[in-house]
Amino acid sequence: MAPAVRLRLLASCRLFSALSGTVPRCRRGLRGLSTLSSTLGSGAGEDEIERIRREFEDAKRNYLSIPAAIKDMPKMDPQGIYVNKNVKLDDLQVYGFDYDYTLSHYSDHLQCLIYDLAKKHLVNELKYPESCLQYDYDSSFPVRGLYYDKLKGCLLKLDFFGSIEPDGCFFGRRKLSSTEIKELYGTRHIGRDQARQLVGLMDVFCFSEACLIADIVQHFVDAKLEFDAPYVYEDVNQAIQHVHRSGLVHRKVLSEPQKFLLKNSQVFRFLKTLREKGKKLFLLTNSPFYFVDGGMSYLLEDQHFDGNSWRELFDVVIAQANKPSFYNSDHPFRVYDTEKDTLAFTAVDKFLPNEVYYHGCLKSFLQITKWRGPEVIYFGDHLFSDLRGPSKAGWRTAAVIRELEDEIGIQNGDSYRFQQAKLGIIHDLLGKVHATVVSTEKGQVYRTLLDELNAERRQCRSGMRDLFNSSFGATFLTDTGKESSFAYHIHQYADIYTSKLENFLSYAPESWLHPPHDIKIMPHNAKVPASLFSTS
């Protein structure tokens, strides 16, 4: 009988004994626990290790065949629509949209602008050292979906189950080792109490915030200045909020729209197609009206459409909605006078064509429109501010995640799939090694093989991470190719997700979108099965 089989039988016997309080009758091939222990101690474990060693050497020789094997594997569509929950498009009668990074998209110049304005606010208004001005926004550092620990001052990337990525914990701009992570947190898993001190950085605007937080922490460390981590977050967040609420960013973008805004005629085509099909459209954004108006006018200035204003595309336009409080507050709607820049005092009990509304709440919105449940779908980029509220209200939700297109492109590439296949093989071998019992005298052989496999695993994980982002890796994935915490929130709050709105133009209006039956978590993550390259 093979040693691995003996071990499984032994484990089953012990478990049965513990649960029942009796001594089970094991199969005839086992002549008692003492006989099995003697057999293992006499070298069966060492034989198994040698067999795994040969399997490992065979695998390394066969790595060259992996690129050929993955050529025929199906590729995912970077412009596809990916489904977590069934959605019938012909059941949708009302389409709602956020503005920033949903209807409009921006160049990388916007992140630099937000970073620089917030940095100056820290120095000029909050009296941070002038030496902080030396830092510049680093687009290669952050990814979406990070967390900031307000108490410990660390930027974290978490996996689907809330554990810290071994290579995804930074204090300032320095990556912490696994030992340092355990010293700080005791374990890599973030418990419920620890989670309360974390702040999620879930939208694209958070790129500049994450980078500025890390740079400020690093500055204090380098300057050997004492600081309290909660204050750093509060001050940086205040500076970022000031940049938005003061209108500094909005005015700068509108003064040079060609530098910051990315024109895309397909977005307008999608909106117009919905109108032609008789769908109702509404715009619900936190941005002020003048910013939305200037941006939409620029984005659509080359288009020919019926009417004199982009507003005629929408049945309802709501600005400065104060999401996410919009979804659970009782704030009344106010009519906004676009000419005088004032708010009316009269109560709003109906939405009129070509009017613009401010503030409001979901409760009043539903009472006025009578739009309810699964006939409404809302598109947004921020999982918490945009989608969590509508999801709980019974609307259908769609996440627009720009990074999805690039990440699927990388996952489709041979380089990523090669490393993923190698990692699968290494994990299988590591599982076999850990399941093997060896004697003390032969323990060095066991440890040597274990060290070599772990080194190979680290190399694969690093290779996969660097294809996306050298600091934090992929947005949707961990370094092991499994789903990240950001993917968890997409799975939880987005019925469907895609890289941009116009991807819907490729789908018939009566399409029934449903998740593939063989997908367990994220439908766009195609995994290379290690069994294809098994050497045993």
Residues labelled as active-site residues: 98, 100
Which token pair is 49? 């290790």
Per DSSP, the three-state class of 201 is strand
Per DSSP, the three-state class of 377 is strand
b/e per residue 82-113 (b: at least 16 CB within 10 A): bbbeebebeebebbbbbbbbbbbbbeeebbbb
User: Per the annotation, does 215 bind a ligand?
Assistant: no
Q: Residue 457's closest CA among 56, 55, 54, 46?
A: 56
Place of tokens 């992570």: 181
- Cβ–Cβ under 8 Å, residues 271 and 306: no
Q: Residue 391's closest CA among 84, 99, 180?
A: 84
- Cβ–Cβ under 8 Å, residues 405 and 524: no
Place of tokens 């009758």: 25
- Cβ–Cβ under 8 Å, residues 165 and 466: no
DSSP 254-290: HHSHHHHB---HHHHHHHHHHHHTT-EEEEE-SS-HH
User: Per the annotation, does 406 bind a ligand?
Assistant: no
Report d(CA 297, CA 196) in Å as an integer.
42
Report d(CA 150, CA 198) in Å as an integer.
6
**Whole-Å CA distances, 328 to 363, 384, 390:** 8, 13, 10
User: Per the annotation, does 98 bind a ligand?
Assistant: yes
Q: Residue 313's closest CA among 352, 272, 277, 284?
A: 272
CA dihedral in degrees (514, 517, 522, 525; nearest 10)?
-110
Which token pair is 276? 């032609």
Q: At what angle do helices 206-222 and 109-124 cross, to 10 degrees?
A: 50
Report d(CA 314, CA 335) in Å as an integer.
16
Q: Residue 176's closest CA among 186, 191, 165, 162?
A: 165
Q: Residue 354's closest CA among 304, 317, 320?
A: 317
Q: Residue 421's closest CA among 484, 481, 467?
A: 481
**Residue 177 DSSP class:** P
Which token pair is 451? 């060290």
Residues belonging to the binding site are 98, 100, 381
